[in-house]
Structure 1
């Protein structure tokens, strides 16, 4: 099972303060905009998404079809295939937006400790 790019999506109270904090840890802004309430920051192959006012709690995120630089992969497991595999394993899908047979789509699951895991395919 190939899950694609991994990141943690953090719900932050003050985007500017969080940006400054993660810059001190060696992260730099890779994508997003302060005006839109989110930034994606990188430190090598590590990605952190900072989101202000968009959701509660933190989310583990996988992006099937992307590498750690958000570049398309030639070979990957489509989000619909991943959903079916996880469903076959008895894992409940709690949210989904899979309107087409291919292309962008997403679904979420919750781990045994209540942590949200988002599978978000952009390609």
Structure 2
């Protein structure tokens, strides 16, 4: 079962300030992966990826980008893993959210 690429999705108060901060650490905004105007963007430094999201959610979220989010959902159901937000629809882009035993959100986002 492949979970796909990993990134940390950070809930930020001011995306402009956060972008400047992470650029100072060596991150670069990824072209065509969000924008300041849309209040979200993905940034990369080497193999490390983070997403900056202003006003979209309260807590930070671990995020994986699988090839088949529906197959993961079926596997989680088989393993009795509670699904907080199930994937909608039968095909195409979608996401689901589970929480670990400590309440940390993990999103699986297929786009």
- TM-score, normalised via structure 1 length: 0.83
Deviations 1:36-90 (A, max 9, x none): 101110011211000001111011111112xxxxxxxxxxxx2111111112112
Unmatched segments (≥5 aa) in structure 2? none
Residue pair 1:80, 1:98 contacting (<8 A) in 2 also:
no
- TM-score, normalised via structure 2 length: 0.92
Deviations 1:7-53 (A, max 9, x none): 11000011111111111211000021111101110011211000001
Q: CA–CA distance in 2 between the matches of 1:79 and 1:52? A: 25
Residue pair 1:3, 1:63 contacting (<8 A) in 2 also:
yes
In the alignment of these two chains, the number of paired residues is 109
Please name the residue that 1:119 is paired with: 108
Which has the larger share of strand? Answer: 2
Matches within 5 A, 1:6-85: 6-30=6-30, 31-65=33-67, 78-85=68-75
Unmatched segments (≥5 aa) in structure 1? 66-77
Secondary structure of the corresponding residue to residue 86 of structure 2:
strand
Task: Identify the match of residue 109 of structure 1 among 98, 102, 105.
Answer: 98
RMSD: 1.1
Q: CA–CA distance in 2 between the matches of 1:121 and 1:35? A: 23
